[in-house]
Amino acid sequence: MTSQRPKPARAVAIAALNQFDPERNYAGLILSKLLDHTNEKQRATDLVFGTTRNRAAIDTVVAQFGDCPVERIPAKLLNIIRIGAYELIYSPTTPDYSIVNEAVESAGTIAGKKQMGFVNALLRQISRHIENRQISLSDSDVRKTLPQTPLAGCKFDSDILPDPKVAPADYLSAAFSLPGWLINDWLDEFGPEKTRQICFASNRRPGIYLRPNKLKTTTGQIAEKFRQAKIDFETLPDESMVMMKAARAVTELPGFGEGLFTIQDMTASQAVKLLDPQPDWTILDLCAAPGTKTTQLAELTGDSAKIIATDINNERLEKVKENIARLGINSINIVPYKELPNSKFDCVLLDVPCSNTGVLAKRIEVRYRIRPRTITELAKTQKELIEAAAAMIKPQGKICYSTCSIQKEENGQLIGEFLRKNHNFKLESELLILPSAIPHQLGVSLSSIGAGDHDGGYTAIISRDA
């Protein structure tokens, strides 16, 4: 039996997007089941994630210059056109003729020859209205240009965006395919410049960071392995992490199978660092799955602390178990949520379920699912969890509360309300990091984490009185 020929990245991306409903399922999970059918895994991933992140802006371009609202486009052609438009706008190094030709061939394969002319005409019409596929934002008309990076964008020959001076929230919502009410929240909380930074970060191709497992190796040893394997990487100045400069399959990196590192964003790593856990502590990780912060606790305490990991979802606890085994950690005991011991802890790590507004570049479905009521409902759950954690803390013990949200209702406001109601607790420290799209450069200190390519998130350390 002959093996099946690998499929082009575009065919895999079309298949994934045709199965994807942002309100119901996850593009990443769908794509992961299809990636083995192509040798162009990274390109297929970029096409799916990039098209999804920018879908509202793409649909605006299709409607305006293709003179065809997306609602009127046959379902079997819609994602072919969206992907083609995405590449024309956001992948300026790919020749436009190649983009159009591949899309037309895909239409012929999927929908038949009669539809090839429609796809060809629509994408060529869009291409004709593009004045410059990559232009400096400082040199471009803001209403005619869809931003690609903080420095560059794709310029059209006529206005496609609202006037940012008249309607700043409408402009940012249209330019970055983000909900207008969320943009308004950010403008009120952070102001226009920081909100613009958040928008770029929410649509970036996120970098991949590796946290060395200090129980087994050092950053230098991982760096040497990568150099020998000719992998392009960069070590952060404080040597806490390694950043991949080119996308690679993580499981195929040297050292992954031996448990020498864990994937973790720079921002996510700050919560446990801020806590500064000690080897003689007893620690409960109350929302542990998939175990990234749980294992970080074990690594920073020399695998000597007594750590209990639990999660309300027993199936997800299996992922914690897998990570513990791969990393060779012995100090973590996995306990089902309903079987937690009735005891007190030196610390409870509370990485709560949240809105994910700090990680929109990775959680690409969130922009289509989130509503104001979502945050209200999540805050209610978060309050219940922190009250539960407070009941489990020893005198002088600590709660490490963290989210990957940047909404005040889930962060500082919620912690403030808890402290006003619980006078036996005090705030030791808190840290809000906004997402950033600026590629990390050597020489930028991790203490200036706002300068790198990273997600957003919040951490508060609160301690109980004696």
Domain presence at residue 80: no
**H helix or E strand, kind and range, residue 307:** strand 306-309
Residues in the chain: 466
Q: What is the pLDDT of residue 48?
A: 96
User: Per-residue confidence at 448, pLDDT binned at 50, 70, 90?
Assistant: very low
Question: Above 90 in pLDDT, residue 442?
Answer: no
pLDDT at 457 over 50: yes
Asked whether residue 425 is assigned to any structural domain, the reply reads yes
Sorting pLDDT into bands at 50, 70 and 90, what band is 381?
A: very high
Question: Tokens 């005891």 map to which residue?
Answer: 343
CA distances from 279 to 287, 299, 351, 366, 384 (A): 21, 10, 20, 37, 29
In a domain, 89, yes or no: no
Q: Model pTM?
A: 0.92
What does the block give as tokens for 254? 């040297």
Confidence check: pLDDT of 4 > 80: no
- Where residue 420 sits, what CATH number does that domain have? 3.40.50.150
Confirm whether 140 is domain-assigned.
Answer: no
pLDDT of 371 over the 90 cut: yes
Q: Is residue 367 part of a domain?
A: yes
91: tokens are: 């992948």
What's the pLDDT tens digit per position in 403-430?
999 999 999 999 999 999 999 999 999 9
245 within domain boundaries: no
Q: Is 136 helix (H, G, I), strand (E, B) or coil?
A: strand
Band of pLDDT at residue 98, cut at 50, 70 and 90:
very high
7 falls within a domain: no
Q: Report residue 113's pLDDT band, with 50, 70 and 90 as the boundaries.
A: confident
Is pLDDT above 80 for 86?
A: yes
Predicted local confidence at residue 305, as pLDDT: 98
Q: Which residue, 162, 96, 97, is CA-closest to 132? A: 96
The structural domain count of the chain equals 1
The confidence score (pLDDT) of residue 111 equals: 84
- The per-residue pLDDT for 239 is 84
pLDDT for position 439: 57
55-70 average pLDDT score: 93
The reported pLDDT for the residue numbered 413 is 98
pLDDT at 425: 97
Q: Could you tell me the residue range of the domain that residue 460 belongs to? A: 265-464
Across 90-109, average pLDDT: 94
pLDDT of residue 355: 97
Would you state the pLDDT for residue 445? Answer: 37
Please report where in the chains the tokens 């299996």 appear, as a residue: 318
Top mean pLDDT of 75-79, 178-182, 314-318, 338-342 is at 178-182
pLDDT at 2 exceeding the cut of 80: no
Q: What is the pLDDT of residue 423?
A: 96
Tens of pLDDT, residues 245-268: 877 788 889 999 999 999 999 999
pLDDT at 3: 53
Q: Which two tokens stand for residue 30?
A: 């769908």
pLDDT (average), residues 295-308? 98
Q: What percent of the chain has pLDDT over 70?
A: 96
Phi, psi (degrees; rounded to nearest 5) at 90: -110, -5
Quick check: is 175 in a domain?
no
Residue 223, pLDDT score: 94
List, in sequence order, every residue forming a beta bridge with 38; answer none if it has no partner.
7
Is residue 450 predicted with pLDDT exceeding 60?
no
Q: What is the mean pLDDT of the chain?
A: 93
Does 450 or 353 have the greater pLDDT score? 353
Whether 444 shows a pLDDT value over 50: the answer reads no
Residue 178 is classified by DSSP as: -
Give me the mean pLDDT over the 5-13 stretch.
91
Q: Tell me 339's DSSP state.
A: G
